[in-house]
Structure 1
Amino acid sequence: MTTTMTTPTTTKAGYRLEGTMLEICSCSAPCPCFLGEDPDGNECHGVIAFKLEKGQARGVDVSGLTLMNVAYIPGNALAGGWRSVILIDSAADDAQYEALLDAFGGKLGGPLADLAGLVGEIVAVERVPIVHEAQQVEGRLIAQGRVEAELAPIQSSPDGTTATMHDSAFTTVKGAPAYLGKSRRYRVSMPQHGMSWTHDGQNAIQTAWKMEFEP
């Protein structure tokens, strides 16, 4: 199913979501998009995973779930035109699934509607088992049969401190560090949607993430 994005109709319900945002992509580290710059080669093969440690959307508790946006980005990320496949944790029940789609699809308004506006085309929305075991950009992210990534932090000093970035273009929690890393392994395999790529040793970045909106 291919869906061309239009301005969503906002419903009178809000959301309060917090957790982490993990981005893995084809660019060299650190991610140029986090600095507002164009991606390497003027295109990006990316995965953005939102792990919702706690929160609600439209009154539905969505704590503990993960939503992933697998995207081909043709140029500067903030310019839009993304071609995306949305993957929603199969642990979500029907009410949680619909609430997440409404929130991240922009129907509930607020800053998530601005984020949804960057997507020019939603190719598909799929429910899939997701394993998200990354902390401070170390660990793994798996969407069964579709995405596989193993991540390692970039250490900025001999004591093993992870390199960080602050107050980036995608910062949503003031003062929270964005942890810099690289992918030991990064695979996307969705040929049915025209998305298959391998980019080992490239950018990975993870930061605290929070968005809320009450109309």
Structure 2
Amino acid sequence: MTENAAIPRWHVTGDWFDACKCDIPCPCTFAQAPTYGDCDGVLAWHIREGRYGDVPLDGLNVLMIGSFVGNVWEGGHSEPRAAVFMDERADEAQREALERVFGGRAGGWPAEFVRMLDPEMRGLEYAPVTVTVDDDLAGWSTEVPGRVEARVEALGGPTTRAGERAQSTGLPGSETGPGQVVTWGRALSYRAEAFGFDLDRRNTSSKHITFDWSGPD
């Protein structure tokens, strides 16, 4: 039996966001090279609803620290590195499901993203990962206590009306796949000190994008 034949039907929906080194707006979302030619940042996923076969995944979180040089969408990038924290609340079956889905071994969009980025994995750890997204998208944040933290507020300005959000559609470079909407934000701060990463930045780009994935293909 092939590995794909052993993969059950699965479906997850939720929130993804990053906080990265780029100026606002992050050029990567437009399939361009990063502002400074290289990028680093924190990426977070919150599963609102999800199942992997009979295994429920509702409410679980995943966080990644990453860096690379060049344009990932053109395939000419280099030095891709990543480290992952997964939600310690997950039981054994949920952990296997999270590792298969987010590691790209269960097909769907994550498999395409992993193949494209092809990162050097510096480590994976189960930890208390928190991800918070305001219902009105006024802000979002994530934390692994003492290791990683990112705090973001929605991007606004003098012509932004109350409750409005700066958003884009038809994204040339959506990290969560086609057909999603990006909400732009300002990373008030993000930091990471884990697995050889040592990041500490303020007032940089951030974006929130929903995800809706399923597999196997």
TM normalised by structure 2 equals 0.86
SS in 2 for 1:85: strand
Correspondence for 2:81 among 56, 80, 83: 83
Query: Does the 8 Å CA contact 1:16/1:56 hold for their aligned counterparts?
Result: yes
1:68 aligns with: 63
2:183 aligns with: 179
Deviation at residue 173 of structure 1 after TM alignment: 6.2
Correspondence for 2:168 among 165, 169, 174: 165
2:20 aligns with: 25
2:143 aligns with: 142
Q: Which runs of 5+ in 1 are unaligned?
A: 1-8
1:209 aligns with: 211
Deviation at residue 213 of structure 1 after TM alignment: 1.5
Query: Does the 8 Å CA contact 2:43/2:65 hold for their aligned counterparts?
Result: yes
User: Larger deviation: 107-116 or 27-36?
Assistant: 107-116
2:11 aligns with: 16
Taking only the aligned residue pairs, the percentage that are identical comes to 24
Letter in 2 for 1:195: F
Query: Does the 8 Å CA contact 1:149/1:183 hold for their aligned counterparts?
Result: yes
Q: Residue deviations 1:166-200, cap 9 Å, x none? A: 121216463x431111111211111xx22011110
Correspondence for 2:39 among 15, 33, 44: 44
Q: Which runs of 5+ in 2 are unaligned?
A: none
CA distance in 2, matches of 1:162, 1:188: 27
Deviation at residue 208 of structure 1 after TM alignment: 1.4
- Deviating above 4 A after TM superposition, structure 1's stretches of 4 or more consecutive aligned residues are none
1:104 aligns with: 102
Note the aligned Cα RMSD (angstroms): 2.0
CA distance in 2, matches of 1:158, 1:109: 40
Query: Does the 8 Å CA contact 2:63/2:129 hold for their aligned counterparts?
Result: no
Closer, same or farther: CA 137–35 of 1 in aligned 2, 3 Å:
farther
Q: Residue deviations 1:57-114, cap 9 Å, x none? A: 2432111011112111222133365211011011111211111001111211232211
2:192 aligns with: 188
Query: Does the 8 Å CA contact 1:65/1:92 hold for their aligned counterparts?
Result: yes
TM normalised by structure 1 equals 0.87
Letter in 1 for 2:106: L
